[in-house]
């Protein structure tokens, strides 16, 4: 099994890829970069599931905990479902520690520098790494975030703001600074 996988295409929600933040439930906790991935029902996530099964077997052998936390959740099962997608979409969270900022590129593999290009509702793929954890009585499988590729734009989800470049049409050339000054003379 490969340590690092490329996910199928997903819609992003709550993308924090440019600044690491602490979890809302623990403001003093470790800061992370993260993206919530919403996979439509037809997405082929069998490689992600197989990777989870392999990592669990590697960690616990035949004694995989029955109460192990799964990284796969249906949107309808979440405490705060993602608005704008169906309840049958599979939602996963991918994260990276503060010292491991993920690479973020566009569909042509150019670095995305403008943070407004990464928003809830746009489509992405991610390079992820599965791992098992056993901390403070919590056991489960999660995916570390390595890199992200934006594949296409779409309508914003939830209360996300649509980028200005998607709202306005070209209006013509801007007023030259010298003629603008004349307006106020």
Angstrom distance (rounded) from CA 122 to CA 137: 36
Using pLDDT thresholds of 50, 70 and 90, give the confidence band for residue 27: confident
Per-residue pLDDT for 154 more than 70? yes
What pLDDT is attached to residue 25? 80
CB-based contact 141:55 (threshold 8 Å): yes
Using pLDDT thresholds of 50, 70 and 90, give the confidence band for residue 88: very high
Question: What mean pLDDT, rounded, does the chain reach?
Answer: 88
What pLDDT is attached to residue 176? 53
**pTM across the whole model:** 0.81
pLDDT digits (tens, 9 = 90+) for 101-148: 999 999 999 999 999 999 999 999 999 999 999 988 889 999 999 999
* Domain residue ranges in the chain: 5-183
Cα radius of gyration rounded to whole Å, the chain:
20
Per-residue pLDDT for 179 more than 60? no
pLDDT digits (tens, 9 = 90+) for 34-43: 999 999 999 9
What pLDDT is attached to residue 26? 83
Q: Which residue has the higher pLDDT, 159 or 167?
A: 167
Per-residue pLDDT for 185 more than 90? no
Phi, psi of 100 (to 5 degrees): -130, 60
Which residues contact residue 119 at a Cβ distance below 8 angstroms, ignoring those fewer than 6 apart? 12, 15, 156, 160, 161, 162, 163
Task: Write down the CATH superfamily of domain 5-183.
Answer: Nucleic acid-binding proteins (2.40.50.140)
The tokens for 83 are 């608005």
Residue found under tokens 């995916």? 143
- Looking at residues 21-46, what average pLDDT do you find? 93
- Looking at residues 74-78, what average pLDDT do you find? 95
Percent of the chain predicted with pLDDT > 90: 70
């Amino acid at each position: 099994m490969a340590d690092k996988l490329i996910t199928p295409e997903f819609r992003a929600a709550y993308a924090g890829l440019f600044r690491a933040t602490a979890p809302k439930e623990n403001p003093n906790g470790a800061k992370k970069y993260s993206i919530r991935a919403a996979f439509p029902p037809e997405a082929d996530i069998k490689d992600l599931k197989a990777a989870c099964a392999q990592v669990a077997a590697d960690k616990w052998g035949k004694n995989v905990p029955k109460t192990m936390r799964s990284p796969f959740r249906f949107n309808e099962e979440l405490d705060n479902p993602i608005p704008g997608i169906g309840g049958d979409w599979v939602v996963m969270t991918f994260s990276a520690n503060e010292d491991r900022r993920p690479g973020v590129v566009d569909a042509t593999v150019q670095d995305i520098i403008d943070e407004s290009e990464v928003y809830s509702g746009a489509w992405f793929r991610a390079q992820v790494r599965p791992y098992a954890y056993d901390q403070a009585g919590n056991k489960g499988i999660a995916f570390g975030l390595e890199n992200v590729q934006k594949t296409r734009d779409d309508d914003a989800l939830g209360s996300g703001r649509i980028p200005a470049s998607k709202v306005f049409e070209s209006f013509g050339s801007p007023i030259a600074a010298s003629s603008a000054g004349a307006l106020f003379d």
